[in-house]
Amino acid sequence: MDDIYKYLLVAFEEAELAKQEGTFPIGAVLVDNTTGLIIARERNRVFSSCDTTGHAEVNLLRAASDRLIDLSTKQFINNDYTIYSTCEPCPMCTCTILLSGIKKVVWAANDNTFGAARKFKEGPHFSEYFDTISYLATPYPELELKQRSMIADFYTSRGYVDTEWHKELS
Ligand SMILES: [Zn+2]
């Protein structure tokens, strides 16, 4: 098993916890590329913590902020970290990633409704900033299908049976 797959599976462990907690089944991990160590792991908490901003990537970056900010100098720390998420980041998460100085993002499934990472990359807004971030989208078809099924099931449980997540499964 390669490292990318391994880290995505850890993100899916978080997504499973989110599912059990009754919120969007999305997870994310932050990995130090130099050491290979996982710095933080988090998950969606929108419905489990009643927090509209409780997305996996935002929670992840909050959890890791002491590794991203040097309070003594009031500087952002140059890092070589990668976010591995089960789902393409939304507008809020995409911009939080940019503002946190993360340069690499991998995700298992594209989000054709609220996914923003690819759209910001295409421009026209902030493209000079997003050019500094590299993406790896949907490297494994089976993990993309797994995330699509999990999110479709969550929408079904809330009474939505005809979302983009459902369509793309058929
Ligand atoms: Zn988000």
Q: What is the pLDDT along the chain (170 residues), one digit of tens a residue?
A: 799 999 999 999 999 999 999 999 999 999 999 999 999 999 999 999 999 999 999 999 999 999 999 999 999 999 999 999 999 999 999 999 999 999 999 999 999 999 999 999 998 999 999 999 999 999 999 999 999 999 999 999 999 999 999 987 86
- Report CA(50)–ligand 1 centroid distance (Å): 15
- Report CA(142)–ligand 1 centroid distance (Å): 22
What is the spatial distance between Cα 73 and Cα 94, in angstroms, rounded to a whole number?
A: 26
- Report CA(57)–ligand 1 centroid distance (Å): 6
For the stretch 130-166, what's the b/e string if a residue is b when 16 or more beta carbons lie within 10 angstroms of its beta carbon? beebeeebeeeeebbebbbebbbebbeeeeeeebebb
pTM, two decimal places: 0.96
| 57 counts as catalytic | yes
Residue type, 152: A
List strands edge to edge, sheet with 38-43. Answer: 38-43, 27-32, 81-87, 104-109, 134-137
Catalytic residue among 42, 57, 88, 144: 57
